[in-house]
Chains A and B, each alone.
Chain A
Amino acid sequence: DAKTTQPNSMESNEEEPVHLPCNHSTISGTDYIHWYRQLPSQGPEYVIHGLTSNVNNRMASLAIAEDRKSSTLILHRATLRDAAVYYCILNTDKLIFGTGTRLQVFP
C-alpha cells in the first residue's frame, strides 16, 4: 500500500486559514486521496476526497498537485471545533491510516 507523510502537529489561530500538507510520492494512478479527521473520543469522520482535480465541499477544500505526489487540505476559517487529528490516506479497497497531523486551534 502506498504511504503518506504528514507533519505530526500544526497550530492555527481561530478564524485563520489552515493548510495541512500531505506527501504521497508513491501514489498510483488509481489511488484516491482521502482526508479524514478524528475528534477526541470519536470515530474518524470523512472530510473530503479527490483523484486529480481540486475539490471543494462545505467542510474544506482539497488541492492536489499536478503530479499527484502531494496534496493539501485547506480549512478556510479554522474554528475551535476543527481541533482534531487529520489523516491523509490513499484509498484502494480499504483505508490504511498513518498517525496523522494533530491540529491545535487557539482562540
Chain B
Amino acid sequence: DTGVSQNPRHKITKRGQNVTFRCDPISEHNRLYWYRQTLGQGPEFLTYFQNEAQLEKSRLLSDRFSAERPKGSFSTLEIQRTEQGDSAMYLCASSLDADSSPLHFGNGTRLTVT
C-alpha cells in the first residue's frame, strides 16, 4: 500500500502526558498537512509543510502542539501536557506541490485523553 500511513491508529493517554504521532506521506509528495477532527465536525486545518519547511500554522495550534518534518519525508505531531479537549482524530494528508493538487489522507490517529 503506497498511501498515507499514520501511527498509531489509537492512543489513550492520561491528562498531562505527552503524546507523539507519526505520519508517513506518499513518497513523491512535497506537501504534508495535519488536521484535527472532532465528532460531527469537518476536519480543522492545523499546519502544513512544503518539504521540511513549516509554511503555515493555524491559531488552533497552541504552544503545546509542535509539528516537525525534519528531512522532508515523514512528520511528527507532538502534544505536550495533554488536556481532555485534545481528544480528537488527528489526520495527516499529503499532496504534490501545486495548489490544485488533491490531498491524500491517512486514516488518522484517534487520541483519547482521560
Per-position binary interface string of chain A over residues 21-58, scored 1 when its CB falls under 8 Å from any chain B CB and 0 otherwise = 00000000010101010000111111001010000000
- Using a CB–CB distance below 8 Å, which chain B residues touch chain A? 4, 33, 35, 40-45, 48, 55-56, 91, 93, 99-100, 102-108
Please state if A43 and B107 are interface contacts (CB–CB under 8 Å).
Answer: yes
Could you pull out 8 A-B pairs where Cβ atoms are within 8 angstroms? A43-B105, A44-B93, A44-B105, A87-B42, A93-B99, A95-B33, A97-B43, A97-B44
Known A-B contacts A94-B33, A94-B45; the reply to A43 vs B100 at CB < 8 A is no
Complex: A95 Cα to B4 Cα, angstroms: 17
Please state if A93 and B56 are interface contacts (CB–CB under 8 Å).
Answer: yes
Q: Tell me, yes or no, whether A99 is within 8 Å of chain B by CB.
A: yes
Number of interchain pairs (Cβ within 8 Å): 54
Complex: A46 Cα to B55 Cα, angstroms: 23
Instruction: Give the dominant DSSP class at A's interface.
Output: loop
A73 CB, min distance to chain B CBs, angstroms: 14
B106 CB, min distance to chain A CBs, angstroms: 5
Q: Tell me, yes or no, whether A96 is within 8 Å of chain B by CB.
A: yes
B67 CB, min distance to chain A CBs, angstroms: 14
Complex: A96 Cα to B91 Cα, angstroms: 13
**Nearest 9 A/B pairs, CB to CB:** A43-B105, A97-B42, A46-B102, A32-B100, A97-B43, A44-B105, A43-B107, A43-B91, A99-B42
